[in-house]
Amino acid sequence: MGKLPSLKEMYPKFAEEFEKTKPPSVLERVTPEAPPPPSFCLPRPDGWWRQPPYSKWIQDRGREPTAYELLLDFIIGRAISSPKAMELASSAPSRLIVYEIEHPQRGTEFVRMFLNPTQVIEGPPEEEPDLWIKMNYYDFVPVLGGEISVFNAVYEGRATILGNTTAGLDQYDVMTAILGFEIPRPRCWPRGHP
């Protein structure tokens, strides 16, 4: 048996080579951060409500509409003209849905929406609502504009809902019908389910 070289001679760059054998760290492979908001959910330039398609249904009050005004215009400008939406809204059980909308400058605005009978009221709720939705104003705008689904904002972590999920689905049905789409209801909570 010949004389064996020392380990240092056999592997002169051992430390370097050993480092290369390691897989990348878990933190490099898994990013816990939420994805950045899509461009249409960022604050909009002044006068955005005068641009189409928003100008078709938002009344120009000479300033950016409040959350209440936005929802009211949406119902008056879009929902009333959709027979399917009206049919859905009148067939759902009576629901009270509260929106808590956070505006970067104006702060928190509350708007309540009744389903069956349809009604939009400004201010915080006086009774316990079926569903509470909390979201940013600039997420609320593309939701009403049909650019993004409300569930998209919820599941990407930019909106929070609390309460009865079926009330959320009822409202979602109405909103998608207003926007001209229809999503079939899941088997677990068919339309009209309490």
Interface positions with other proteins (CB under 8 A): 1, 4, 7, 21, 23, 30, 32-35, 93, 148-149, 151-152, 154-157, 160-162, 164-166, 172, 183-184, 186-190, 192-194
Nearer Cβ to other proteins (58/169)? 169
Please report how close the Cβ of residue 81 comes to other proteins at its closest, in angstroms.
26
Please report how close the Cβ of residue 65 comes to other proteins at its closest, in angstroms.
26
* Long-range CB pairs of 148-156, under 8 A, 24+ apart, other chains included: 148/38, 148/40, 148/41, 149/176, 150/175, 153/41, 156/34, 156/35, 156/37
* Nearest CA among 98, 137, 104 for reference residue 121: 98
Please report how close the Cβ of residue 32 comes to other proteins at its closest, in angstroms.
5
Please report how close the Cβ of residue 154 comes to other proteins at its closest, in angstroms.
6
Burial class (CB in 10 A: 0-12, 13-18, 19+), 41: buried
* Nearest CA among 170, 166, 109 for reference residue 135: 109
Nearer Cβ to other proteins (87/155)? 155
Distances (CA, A) of 134 to 15, 27, 110: 53, 31, 9
Nearer Cβ to other proteins (32/117)? 32
Please report how close the Cβ of residue 72 comes to other proteins at its closest, in angstroms.
26
Nearer Cβ to other proteins (73/170)? 170
Contact 149, 173 (CB under 8 A): no
> CA torsion 62→67→70→71, rounded to 10°?
-160
Nearer Cβ to other proteins (21/105)? 21
Please report how close the Cβ of residue 170 comes to other proteins at its closest, in angstroms.
13
Nearer Cβ to other proteins (16/33)? 33
